[in-house]
Amino acid sequence: MIEKETEENGEVAMREKEIKIKELFVKMLEDAAKYAVQYECYAKDMKDFHEVVQWKFGPIRGYQVFDETEYSFKIDEEAEDPTLVLGCKELDLAYQFLNDEISHWPALLGTKFLVGIKGPDGTYKEKRIGKLTGFTPGNAPRLSTAKENAPPKQKKLSSRLVRIPVFRPIMERTTDPENSNDVRIPINKSLGTYESESIPLAVLEYFINKASDIYIFTMCPCRSLANCENYDQSIGCMALGKGALRMNTFGRIGTKEEALERSRHAVAAGLLPSLGRVKSDTIVYRALPEQGDLMHICFCCPCCCVEAGGKDSPMYLRGWHQKMEGVSVTVNEDLCNGCEQCLEVCIYGGMEVIDQVAVIDRKGEDRCKGCGRCERVCPTGAITITIEEDGVDRMIARIESSVDVS
C-alpha cells in the first residue's frame, strides 16, 4: 500500500513538473515573437539566417522557424525537416534552461543539453552541446568577393545558436558587454613610437610594470588546438593583476621580466597584442569571481585566433570589442589592385573587395578593429594606418577605467 502511494505521488510530481516545463517552453516560443519586434538589430542579426529548430524536453515537443525576419512556431508538433534539434531528456535540466538559471555558457557546455544536426545520411545525431561547441580556434577567413553569396552566419554551430533568442541572456552573462572592455594594439612600424618605444611594447610594458601579479600561459590555446604551423604555439597568453592568483589553467605565476620577454618575442614574431577586461576569459580560465582585477593579454595570429568567430556574432555581442583610440585605416583606390591579400588576414570581416578595390566597413557595422594586419600585407601600399597623437593615452585611460592590475 505504501509503495503504491509512493509511486502515485512520484507520478503526480512528474506530471506537475512536465506541466511547469511546458508553460516555460510556451513562454519561450512566444517571447521569441516579441523579441523579433522589439530588438532593434533583429533584421541585421537574422540576415541569411534560416533555421528550423526542433525542441525536445523530455516528452514535450515544439519547433521554431526562423526565416530571416519571419518567425513562427508550433507547439506539440515535430518539424518534418529541422536544421537543428535541441533540448534534453532530464526535466530538471530543462527547467533550469527554460527558467534561465544556468549561470554562463561554459556551465551549459558541461551539462547533458543535446544538439542534433542532420548527417550526410539524413539522420540526426544528437551529442552533448559541449562536444560540439566547446572552445575552438578560428580559421583564416578567406572572405573574398567571389564567396559573398555564402551565408556566413551558418558557418559555425555556436554562431547559429547565439542568434536563437533564448540563448541571448546566457551569452550576455558570459561576455558581459557592459563591463568587458578590450583593445587590439597594432604592431605596424608606420605608426611610430610612444615614449621612444614601439607602441605595442610601450603599452605592454606600462601594464606589466604596474601589475601586482602575473600569470603566464605555457601555450596559446588557439594555435595549439589548430596545430598552427605559421606561428610559435608556445607564445601563450598572459594575465595581470590580483586576479592572476585565481587562475587555474595551463600556466603558472611568472615574473615581470618573463612577461616583458614574452611580449618582445610575440611582437617580433608578428603576433598582435589584444588586452583588456574580458569576462568570458575569466570564466573559461576558472578565475571567478570577475571583479575588475584581472587583465587578459593575448598574442593573436590571423590564422587561428578564436576572435575570427566574432565576425559572425550578433550585434548584441559586438560592443565591447573596440578599436584603439585615434586609429584610422584607409584605402587609396588608385593604388589598390584588388589582390585580396588584405582579406586573407582580416579576421573581423571588416574588409571587402568590390570592383577590384578594397573597401573597409562598407556596411557601416564598425567591424574594422584597426588591427593593421591589412596594411602590413598590402603589396602596393594602398592601405594606410594612422594614429592621433593622444591615441595611446586615451586607450590606456579607457582600459584602466574598467580593470585595475595593481
Phi, psi of 156 (to 5 degrees): -120, 145
Whether 160 is in a domain gets the answer no
* β-strand partners of 57: 60, 88
Output the CA–CA distances (angstroms, integers) from residue 224 to 38, 42, 136, 233, in the order listed: 42, 36, 10, 6
Cα 360–chain centre separation: 21
**The three cell numbers locating residue 159:** 554562431
Alpha helices in 245-400 (DSSP H): 256-268, 279-284, 341-345, 373-377, 391-400
Q: Return the pLDDT at 292.
A: 94
- Same domain, residue pair 95 and 200: no
State the sign of the Cα–Cα–Cα–Cα dihedral 207, 213, 219, 220: negative
Q: Does position 43 have pLDDT exceeding 50, yes or no?
A: yes
Q: Does position 311 have pLDDT exceeding 80, yes or no?
A: no
**The three cell numbers locating residue 171:** 551569452
Whether 187 is in a domain gets the answer yes
319 in the Ramachandran plot: left (φ > 0), alpha (ψ -120 to 50) or beta?
alpha
- Same domain, residue pair 62 and 210: no
Measured between alpha carbons, how far is 181 from 208 in angstroms, rounded to an integer?
18
Domain boundary among 108, 134, 160: 134
Which residue range is the domain that position 214 belongs to?
A: 172-400
Of 163, 175, 106, 156, the C-alpha closest to 308 is 156
pLDDT tens digits for range 178-208 = 888 999 999 999 999 998 899 999 999 999 9
Domain boundary among 134, 160, 185: 134
Domain count, the chain: 2
Domain boundary among 70, 104, 134: 134
- Is residue 100 exposed (0-12), middle (13-18) or buried (19+ Cβ within 10 Å)? middle
Of 220, 223, 263, the C-alpha closest to 240 is 263
pLDDT tens digits for range 318-358 = 766 788 999 999 999 999 999 999 988 998 888 999 999 99
Helix, strand, coil % (nearest 5) of the chain? 40, 20, 40
Whether 158 is in a domain gets the answer no
- Same domain, residue pair 291 and 376: yes
pLDDT tens digits for range 235-270 = 999 999 999 999 988 899 999 999 999 999 999 999
Whether 406 is in a domain gets the answer no
CATH number, domain at 111?
Answer: 3.30.1050.10
- Same domain, residue pair 265 and 357: yes
- Same domain, residue pair 268 and 383: yes
